[in-house]
């Protein structure tokens, strides 16, 4: 497995670095962006939603705020460039939760094998279909992930894996995202571990309303502080 190639900032204890990385996972190699703040208190692995990539502007905004709060972040592509082109035509791979979860599970193991991130407690942050993949990955790599955060997620798509998720889960949903809110409530009842549904007033599925994404960040950071104490 490749190690982070430092670019710009460098170091770990007392210093920080950002890096483009290539991650061998589930038979393919995908690209990622790793940022490790000085004296990081945890690492958050992002799983983007359907039809998106590691360049998702919403996830990048959330990641930047987490970095400022002292958390390392890894935003990664879940598909190769060739797969993304095929998915643009068919839309099938973005809903292949077992495939996406396997890629995330490989990234979890990758982070756990890097000297820079191995000591850090880990959380997953999934959006839309990425939330289902994050939940299944947490179940498939037991004992590593300490928190799963879902933003406007579809946890119901994790299926029977929900009963194997024994870590705390924070489900953040907009109050106007009625159908997804109902799906989250049903999924929360199936989770083996503690589950909290946090509703953002006035927000729709993409949290595009003024202040909505800021509230998502506040809720996510509160969850990280409570569950990634080290």
- Report which of 91, 209, 92, 224 is spatially closest to residue 147, judged by C-alpha positions: 224
Distance in angstroms (rounded) separating the CA atoms of residues 38 and 41: 9
Intervals of the chain under pLDDT 50: 1-13
Tell me, what's the pLDDT at 230?
A: 55
Tell me, what's the pLDDT at 14?
A: 53
Tell me, what's the pLDDT at 2?
A: 39
Tell me, what's the pLDDT at 8?
A: 34
Q: List pLDDT tens digits, range 64-106.
A: 999 999 999 999 988 888 888 877 787 777 788 999 999 999 9
Tell me, what's the pLDDT at 54?
A: 72
3-state secondary structure the chain: CCCCEEECCCCCCCCCEEEEEEEEECCEEEEEEEEECCCCCCEEEEECCCCCCCCCHHHHHHHHHHHHCCCEEEEECCCCHHHHHHHHHHCCHHHCHHHHHHHHHHHHHHHHHCCCCCCCCEEEEEECHHHHHHHHHHHHCCCCEEEEEEECCCHHHHHHHHHHCCCCEEEEEECCCHHHHHHHHHHHCCCCCCEEEEEECCCCCCCCCCCHHHHHHHHHHHHHHHHCCC
What kind of fold does domain 5-227 have according to CATH?
Rossmann fold (3.40.50)
Tell me, what's the pLDDT at 59?
A: 87
Tell me, what's the pLDDT at 15?
A: 62
Distance in angstroms (rounded) separating the CA atoms of residues 223 and 230: 13
Tell me, what's the pLDDT at 9?
A: 37
Residues whose CB is less than 8 angstroms from the CB of residue 1 and which lie 6 or more positions away in sequence, other chains included: 23, 24, 110, 113
Phi, psi of 188 (to 5 degrees): -60, -35
For the chain, how many residues are written?
230
Report whether 64 contacts 18 (CB < 8 A): no
The residue extents of the domains of the chain are 5-227
């Amino acid at each position: 497995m490749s190690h982070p190639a430092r670019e710009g900032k460098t170091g770990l204890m007392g210093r920080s670095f950002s890096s483009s990385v290539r991650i061998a996972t589930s038979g393919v190699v995908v690209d990622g962006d790793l940022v490790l703040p000085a004296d990081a208190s945890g690492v958050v692995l992002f799983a983007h939603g359907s039809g998106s990539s590691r360049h998702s502007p919403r996830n990048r905004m959330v990641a930047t705020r987490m970095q400022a709060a002292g958390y390392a972040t890894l935003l990664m592509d879940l598909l190769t460039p060739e797969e993304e082109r095929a998915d643009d035509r068919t839309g099938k791979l973005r809903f292949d939760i077992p495939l996406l979860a396997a890629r995330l599970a490989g990234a979890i193991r990758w982070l756990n094998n890097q000297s820079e991130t191995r000591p850090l407690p880990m959380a997953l942050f999934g959006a839309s279909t990425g939330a289902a993949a994050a939940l299944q990955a947490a179940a498939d790599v037991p004992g590593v992930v300490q928190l799963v955060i879902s933003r406007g997620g579809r946890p119901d798509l994790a299926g029977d894996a929900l009963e194997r998720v024994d870590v705390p889960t924070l489900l953040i949903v907009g109050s106007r995202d009625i159908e997804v809110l109902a799906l989250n409530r049903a999924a929360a009842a199936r989770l083996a571990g503690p589950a909290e549904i946090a509703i953002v007033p006035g927000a729709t599925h993409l949290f595009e309303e003024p202040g909505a994404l800021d509230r998502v960040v506040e809720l996510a950071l509160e969850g990280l502080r409570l569950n990634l104490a080290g």
